[in-house]
Structures are given as structure tokens and as C-alpha cells.
């Protein structure tokens, strides 16, 4: 073997060895994505009932607005991020709400006129709780699982769960300027998520 070929081979082996953790992690990430796609939970939900955003996590009114803008939701209860008090948000607009999920319903003109926020009336029960979550997978390399879930408060069961897998190809502590290198499952996108979310209403 010529000396130049040997040097090239040694360099290749060193490069593969250096990035082996990244290569192995990426293929494991693809496997987890295939598994996660089969774990989605979508049960039918009742329309025109009260919802709440996880009351253990104060939120701003815009988070409540995303749920309240759905035509199938009667009202949304949430703990205000500002004063930590409990509020109900109702849609009071005259036009019919569309069966779509907007990333920011404020993009619609006069949205403040269409929604009413008042102190929570606890005589009006809530049936579903919506929340987001993120958890590291300790047995995996730089991998996390995140998404959203809806719990039926009558039974405590998860009736909808839409989740995704996140994977960082490189350790950000060892990258130039802390550059991100995140990956998510290719099948998870806004259109897929919205179609799944809207399909569960009876």
C-alpha cells in the first residue's frame, strides 16, 4: 500500500471514529421516529365543552387564544401569567369560527373584539386539559421527546397525544458559537399536526 493511501485510510478511520457517536445517534434517532409515529393517540372528543390549559403552568392570553379560536371549544380556562389568577376566555364574535388552527390568531383583524376574558366561573365545568411537554430520553444520545397532549379530566386518561422526537447531531457545547444542529421527525409538520388535531372532534 502506498504511503499516501495509508495516510488517507488512517485519516478516514480517525474521522469515522471521531464522529461515530454522531452517526450512531442519528440512525438511532431515525429508528425512534419510526416507533414514535405508531404511538400517537387520537380519540374522539366532544364538542362545545370547556377546556383548560394546564393550570400548573401559568400562560399568557395568546396561548388560550389558540385553543379558544377552535369552533369546537366553548371556552378556555387558564392561569394568567401576569397576575396568576384564573380566567375564562370565550369567543363572542359574530362570524363563524373556521375549522383551522392558527399559529397566531391575532393575525385576524379585531381579534380582541371577538374574545372576552373574565374571572373564571367555576360553576362552568371543564372537560379537557391541554398541555405541552418535553422530556429528555436519558438512555439516548442528545435526544428528547416533546409534544402536546389532551387529558379527559373525568377519567384522567390521555385522549390525544401528538409527539415528536428531537435530536441534536452535535453537542452544542463543542460547536462554534454554540451553533444548533437539531433534527425532528420528517413526518411531523404543522399540516400533519393540525389535521390530526382537528380530526378528533365528533
pLDDT tens-digit readout, 122-158: 999 999 999 988 999 888 888 899 998 999 999 999 9
Q: How far are the Cα atoms of 72, 88, 119, 120, 139 from residue 123, in angstroms, in the given order?
A: 20, 12, 12, 9, 45
Of all residues in the chain, the percent with pLDDT exceeding 70 is: 75
Of all residues in the chain, the percent with pLDDT exceeding 90 is: 35
Q: What pLDDT is stored for residue 177 in this prediction?
A: 42
CA nearest to 61, candidates 92, 99, 98, 90: 90
| Mean pLDDT along residues 106-123 | 81
The alpha carbon dihedral of 45, 115, 57, 198 has a sign of positive
Residue 2: inside a domain, yes or no?
Answer: no
Residue 20: inside a domain, yes or no?
Answer: no
Which residue, 127, 149, 167, sits at the end of a domain? 127
Nearest-angstrom CA–CA distance, 189 and 67: 18
User: For the chain, what is the radius of gyration of the CA atoms?
Assistant: 23
Which residue, 79, 97, 127, sits at the end of a domain? 127
Q: 20-34, 95-109, 127-141, 168-182: lowest mean pLDDT where?
A: 168-182
Tell me the pTM.
0.77
pLDDT for residue 113 is more than 50: yes
CB 75 within 8 A of CB 61: no
* Domain shared by 84 and 103, yes or no: yes
| Mean pLDDT along residues 101-126 | 79
Residue 96: inside a domain, yes or no?
Answer: yes
* Domain shared by 97 and 54, yes or no: yes
> Domain residues for 182?
26-43+131-198
* Domain shared by 188 and 154, yes or no: yes
Average pLDDT, the chain: 81
User: Quick one: DSSP state of residue 28?
Assistant: H
Nearest-angstrom CA–CA distance, 72 and 6: 68
**Over the stretch 18-35, which tens digit does the pLDDT of each residue have?**
455 666 778 888 888 999
What's the total number of domains in the chain? 2
User: Quick one: DSSP state of residue 139?
Assistant: T
Amino acid at each position: 500500500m502506498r504511503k499516501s493511501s495509508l495516510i488517507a485510510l488512517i485519516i478516514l478511520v480517525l474521522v469515522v471514529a471521531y464522529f461515530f457517536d454522531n452517526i450512531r445517534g442519528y440512525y438511532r434517532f431515525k429508528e425512534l421516529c419510526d416507533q414514535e409515529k405508531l404511538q400517537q393517540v387520537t380519540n374522539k372528543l366532544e364538542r362545545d365543552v370547556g377546556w383548560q390549559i394546564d393550570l400548573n403552568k401559568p400562560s399568557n392570553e395568546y396561548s388560550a387564544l389558540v385553543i379558544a379560536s377552535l369552533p369546537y371549544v366553548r371556552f378556555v380556562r387558564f392561569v394568567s401569567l401576569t397576575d396568576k389568577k384564573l380566567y375564562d376566555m370565550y369567543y363572542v364574535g359574530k362570524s363563524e369560527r373556521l375549522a383551522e388552527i392558527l399559529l397566531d390568531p391575532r393575525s385576524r383583524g379585531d381579534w380582541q373584539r371577538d374574545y372576552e376574558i373574565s374571572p373564571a366561573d367555576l360553576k362552568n365545568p371543564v372537560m379537557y386539559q391541554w398541555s405541552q411537554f418535553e422530556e429528555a430520553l436519558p438512555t439516548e444520545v442528545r435526544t428528547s421527546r416533546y409534544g402536546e397532549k389532551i387529558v379527559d379530566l373525568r377519567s384522567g386518561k390521555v385522549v390525544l397525544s401528538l409527539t415528536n422526537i428531537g435530536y441534536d447531531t452535535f453537542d452544542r457545547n463543542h460547536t462554534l458559537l454554540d451553533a444548533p444542529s437539531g433534527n425532528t421527525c420528517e413526518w411531523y409538520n404543522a399540516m400533519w399536526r393540525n389535521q390530526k388535531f382537528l380530526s378528533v372532534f365528533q
